[in-house]
Structure 1
Amino acid sequence: MLLLFSASVVSAQTKGKVEVIRDPRVDTLIARRAELNKAVSGEQVMGFRVQIFTGGNRKDAYNAQTKFLEEFPDIRSYVIYSEPNFKVRVGDFRSRMEAEKLQDDLRKTFMGTFIITEKVNPPKPDSDE
């Protein structure tokens, strides 16, 4: 009997408190991963683009796009046809301030640029992350 009683006391566990200590950068990485997953899924969000050309001639629109890409090869550009005009819009910016910075850089090359609010593509995920 004493043997049975001592076996039950030995196998019993006491409840304790577990404290998890983690680096605050873990939360940042989790948030960044969620952002990248959205980018990979192709989800569009509201943002800003800079319109650099409006006109009725398709060839002029593509010439404006080519001229832009020569100076800014890393920024996406889009040719849009909205009857009766072709429009060239550039960039996929989340904030208006980013779009205004590009607009300032473009003013010496393109006349009459302005900022458009529309759905934009998410940023390209960096390959080194």
Structure 2
Amino acid sequence: MNKVSNLLFALLFLVLAACGSSSRTSTSDAGRATGKTRAAEDLSEFRPTYPDAEATGSNAAAPLTPTNHVNNRVAALMDTVASVNRNVKYAQGFRILAYNGSERQTVMDLRKAIIARVPQEKDYLTYQQPNFRLKIGDYFSRIEAQQVLNQIRDLLPNAQIVSDQININK
């Protein structure tokens, strides 16, 4: 038992000695407020120094002039891209498939109801014997089509968004 108590006493002494404070050479103002101190080190000799702009007489706001002018070539290339884009009339996008069936009167009534609900959207009615297909809108993204579909969901409970070639309005 004596050996065990001596061992515990020695272990307690080592733990307390390890938790003890190290030597302090100075105390900072923040250290005094919190009770913590740290060693004072002067690191100013390692910090870089820069001359003042006013002392050197250099103008910090001097404009930089570009040395490689490509403006004329870039403008010509952009005109070419713009002319090609003007000729593009179709793109891959999405439409709402509102109706696909063989009843003409049903599709016409549905078309009138949709035009009354969302007049800004263009409708596309096609007939491939014996089916009528009614598609609505030209949308670049599925999110745009979903927003319009939410407006007319009560008219078209079975409508769905389909990928299709859409017209690009200029």
Residue 95 of structure 1: how far off its partner (Å):
0.6
Name the stretch that deviates more: 45-54 or 76-85. Answer: 76-85
Q: Report the Cα distance in structure 1 between the residues aligned to 2:108 and 2:114, rounded to whole angstroms.
A: 10
Task: Please name the residue that 2:149 is paired with.
Answer: 103
Decide whether the 8 Å contact of 1:92 with 1:121 is kept in 2.
yes
Q: Report the Cα distance in structure 2 between the residues aligned to 1:34 and 1:77, rounded to whole angstroms.
A: 29
Task: Please name the residue that 1:64 is paired with.
Answer: 110
Q: Relative to total residues, which structure has the larger strand share, 1 or 2?
A: 1
Count of matched residue pairs? 99
> Could you list the runs of 5+ residues in structure 2 that have no partner in the other structure?
1-64, 70-74
Per-residue deviation, residues 48-78 of structure 1 (Å, max 9, x unmatched): 0001112201222122111111111111001
| 2:82 equivalent among 34, 45, 48 | 34
In structure 1, give the amino acid aligned to 2:120.
D
| 1:43 equivalent among 63, 86, 89 | 89
* Pair member with larger Rg: 2
CA RMSD, 1 decimal: 3.1
Decide whether the 8 Å contact of 1:42 with 1:121 is kept in 2.
no
TM, length-normalised to structure 2: 0.49
SS in 2 for 1:111: coil
The answer to whether structure 1 residue 53 and structure 2 residue 99 are counterparts is: yes
Per-residue deviation, residues 23-50 of structure 1 (Å, max 9, x unmatched): xxxx9xx79x939x63xx4611110000
Deviating beyond 3 angstroms after TM superposition, the runs of 4 or more aligned structure 1 residues are 16-20
Task: Please name the residue that 1:113 is paired with.
Answer: 159
Q: Report the Cα distance in structure 2 between the residues aligned to 1:91 and 1:42, rounded to whole angstroms.
A: 18
Task: Please name the residue that 2:129 is paired with.
Answer: 83
Q: Report the Cα distance in structure 2 between the residues aligned to 1:94 and 1:117, rounded to whole angstroms.
A: 10
Decide whether the 8 Å contact of 2:117 with 2:152 is kept in 1.
no
Q: Percent sequence identity over matched residues?
A: 23
> Could you list the runs of 5+ residues in structure 1 that have no partner in the other structure?
1-15, 21-26
Residue 84 of structure 1: how far off its partner (Å):
2.1
Residue 18 of structure 1: how far off its partner (Å):
7.1
Q: Report the Cα distance in structure 2 between the residues aligned to 1:79 and 1:44, rounded to whole angstroms.
A: 18
- Give the 3 Å change call, closer, same or farther, for CA 17–97 of structure 1 in structure 2: closer
